[in-house]
Amino acid sequence: MDFVKWGLNPWGESILTHVSWTLFWASLVAGLMFLVAHGSYMLLSAHRKRPATETDRLEATFANLPERIERHSLMARLFHWVMAAAMFTLLFTAFLPVAGVKFPWVTWHWMAGLVLTGSIVFHVVHATVWLDFWSIWVGPKDIPELKAELMRELGRDVPGPKSGKYPLGNRLYHLAIVVTALGAVVSGVLMMSRVRTPVFTRNPYLLSDATWGVTYVSHGLAGVALVGLVIAHVYFAIRPEKWWITKGMILGWITRRQYLEHHEPDRWRVTANPPAGRP
Amino acid sequence: MAVIHDVMPAFELFQPESAADAVTLLGRYSPNAWVMAGGMDSFDWLKDRIKRPSVVIELSRVAELRGIKERDGGLEIGAATTLTEIARSPLVRAKFSLLAEAAELVASPQIRNQGTVGGNVSQDARCWYYRAGWACYRAGGNICYADTPTAVNREHAILGADRCVAVNPSDTAPALVALDAQMVIRSTRGERVVDAEDFFIGPGTDITRMTVLAPDELLTAIRIPATWANAVFYFEKVRDRNVWDFPLLNVAAATTYSGNKIERIRIVVNAAAARPLRLHAVEAAVVGQPKSKETEERAGQLAIEGAEALRYNAYKIPLMRNLVKRAIRGQQDT
Instruction: Report the CATH number at residue B185.
Output: 3.30.465.10
Q: How confident is the model at residue A12 (pLDDT cuts 50, 70, 90)?
A: confident
Residue type, A78: L
d(CA A194, CA B162): 10
CATH number of the domain bearing residue B265: 3.30.390.50
Q: Which of A18-27, A192-201, B71-80, B149-158 has the weakest average pLDDT?
A: A192-201
The residues of A whose Cβ lies within 8 A of any Cβ of B are 5-10, 15, 17-18, 97, 102-107, 194-196, 202, 204-205, 209, 212-213, 216
d(CA B86, CA B63): 16
Look at residue B72 and tell me if it is in a domain.
yes
Instruction: Check B161 against A9: CB less than 8 A apart.
Output: no
Look at residue A11 and tell me if it is in a domain.
no
What pLDDT is recorded for position A275?
Answer: 45
Are B72 and B83 members of one domain? yes
The residues of B whose Cβ lies within 8 A of any Cβ of A are 132-135, 139-145, 147-149, 161-163, 201-202, 204-206, 308
Are B113 and B191 members of one domain? yes
Q: Where are the beta strands (DSSP E) in chain B?
A: 12-14, 33-36, 55-58, 68-71, 74-78, 182-187, 190-195, 218-224, 232-238, 249-258, 261-270, 277-278
What pLDDT is recorded for position A48?
Answer: 61
Are B104 and B243 members of one domain? no
Sequence-separated (6 or more) residues with CB below 8 Å from residue B20: none
Q: Enumerate the residues of chain A whose CB falls inside 8 A of the CB of residue B142.
A: 17-18, 194, 212-213, 216
Which residue range is the domain that position B193 belongs to? 65-122+167-227
Residue type, B250: N
Residue A145 reports pLDDT greater than 90: no
DSSP A96-114: TTTTT-----HHHHHHHHH
Q: How confident is the model at residue A50 (pLDDT cuts 50, 70, 90)?
A: low
Look at residue B16 and tell me if it is in a domain.
no
**For the residues A152-161, what does the mean pLDDT come to?**
74
Residue A255 reports pLDDT greater than 50: yes
| Mean pLDDT for back-to-back runs of 10 residues, chain B (334 residues) | 68 98 97 96 91 96 97 97 98 98 97 98 96 92 91 96 95 98 98 98 94 97 98 97 94 96 97 98 97 96 97 97 96 60
Residue B118 pairs in a beta bridge with: none
- Across the interface, of B140, B147, B161, the residue whose CB is closest to A7 is B140
Look at residue A222 and tell me if it is in a domain.
yes
Instruction: Check B135 against A8: CB less than 8 A apart.
Output: yes
Of B241, B270, B260, nearest in space to B170 by CA: B270
- Write down the mean pLDDT value for chain A: 88
- How far is A230 from chain B, CA to nearest CA, in Å? 25
Cα B18 to chain centroid, rounded: 25
What pLDDT is recorded for position A63?
Answer: 84
Q: Enumerate the residues of chain B whose CB falls inside 8 A of the CB of residue A104.
A: 162, 202, 204-205
Look at residue A96 and tell me if it is in a domain.
yes
- Across the interface, of B143, B161, B202, the residue whose CB is closest to A194 is B143
What pLDDT is recorded for position B312?
Answer: 96
Look at residue A4 and tell me if it is in a domain.
no
What pLDDT is recorded for position A60?
Answer: 86
- Of B211, B227, B243, which residue sits at a domain end? B227
Look at residue B252 and tell me if it is in a domain.
yes
Are B105 and B183 members of one domain? yes
3-class DSSP state of B1: coil
Instruction: Check B204 against A205: CB less than 8 A apart.
Output: no
Are B221 and B265 members of one domain? no
Look at residue B133 and tell me if it is in a domain.
no
Taking the alpha carbons at both ends of chain B, their separation in whole angstroms is 41
Are B108 and B187 members of one domain? yes
Phi/psi of residue A100, nearest 5 degrees: 105, -5
Quote the pTM value. Answer: 0.86
Of B225, B1, B253, B244, nearest in space to A8 by CA: B1
Q: Where are the beta strands (DSSP E) in chain A?
A: 4-8, 14-19, 68-70, 253-255
Look at residue A152 and tell me if it is in a domain.
yes
Look at residue B69 and tell me if it is in a domain.
yes
Nearest residue on chain B to A105, alpha-carbon basis: B204
Look at residue B138 and tell me if it is in a domain.
no
Number of domains in chain A: 1
Are B309 and B190 members of one domain? no
Q: How confident is the model at residue A165 (pLDDT cuts 50, 70, 90)?
A: confident
- Please, is B159 exposed, middle or buried when counting C-beta atoms within 10 Å of its C-beta (0-12, 13-18, 19+)? buried
What pLDDT is recorded for position A278?
Answer: 42
Are B190 and B240 members of one domain? no
Look at residue A203 and tell me if it is in a domain.
yes
Which residue range is the domain that position A99 belongs to? 28-262
Number of domains in chain B: 2
Are B91 and B223 members of one domain? yes
Q: How confident is the model at residue A132 (pLDDT cuts 50, 70, 90)?
A: confident
| Per-residue CA distances from B304 to B215, B238, B271, B301, B319 (Å) | 34, 17, 13, 6, 10
> Do the Cβ atoms of B247 and B171 come closer than 8 Å?
yes
- Across the interface, of A9, A106, A205, the residue whose CB is closest to B163 is A106
What pLDDT is recorded for position B2?
Answer: 53
Instruction: Check B142 against A97: CB less than 8 A apart.
Output: no
Are B311 and B202 members of one domain? no
Q: Enumerate the residues of chain B whose CB falls inside 8 A of the CB of residue A103.
A: 204-205
Residue A135 reports pLDDT greater than 90: no
Look at residue A133 and tell me if it is in a domain.
yes
Sequence-separated (6 or more) residues with CB below 8 Å from residue B39: B114, B119
> Do the Cβ atoms of A244 and A68 come closer than 8 Å?
no
Are B297 and B216 members of one domain? no
Are B194 and B294 members of one domain? no
Residue A35 reports pLDDT greater than 80: yes
CATH number of the domain bearing residue A33: 1.20.950.20
Sequence-separated (6 or more) residues with CB below 8 Å from residue B312: B152, B153, B154
Phi/psi of residue A151, nearest 5 degrees: -65, -40
Q: How confident is the model at residue A279 (pLDDT cuts 50, 70, 90)?
A: very low
What pLDDT is recorded for position A276?
Answer: 46
Look at residue A277 and tell me if it is in a domain.
no
Q: Which phi-psi region, left, alpha or beta, contains residue A147 (left: φ > 0; alpha: ψ -120 to 50)?
A: alpha
Look at residue B182 and tell me if it is in a domain.
yes
Q: Which of A29-33, A177-181, A205-209, B320-324 has the weakest average pLDDT?
A: A205-209
d(CA A29, CA A274): 52
Provide the percentage of residues in chain A whose pLDDT is more than 70. 95
DSSP A71-101: -S-HHHHHHHHHHHHHHHHHHHHHHTTTTT-
Of B251, B258, B266, B248, nearest in space to B313 by CA: B248
> Do the Cβ atoms of A8 and A14 come closer than 8 Å?
yes
Q: How many residue contacts between A and B have a Cβ separation below 8 Å?
A: 59
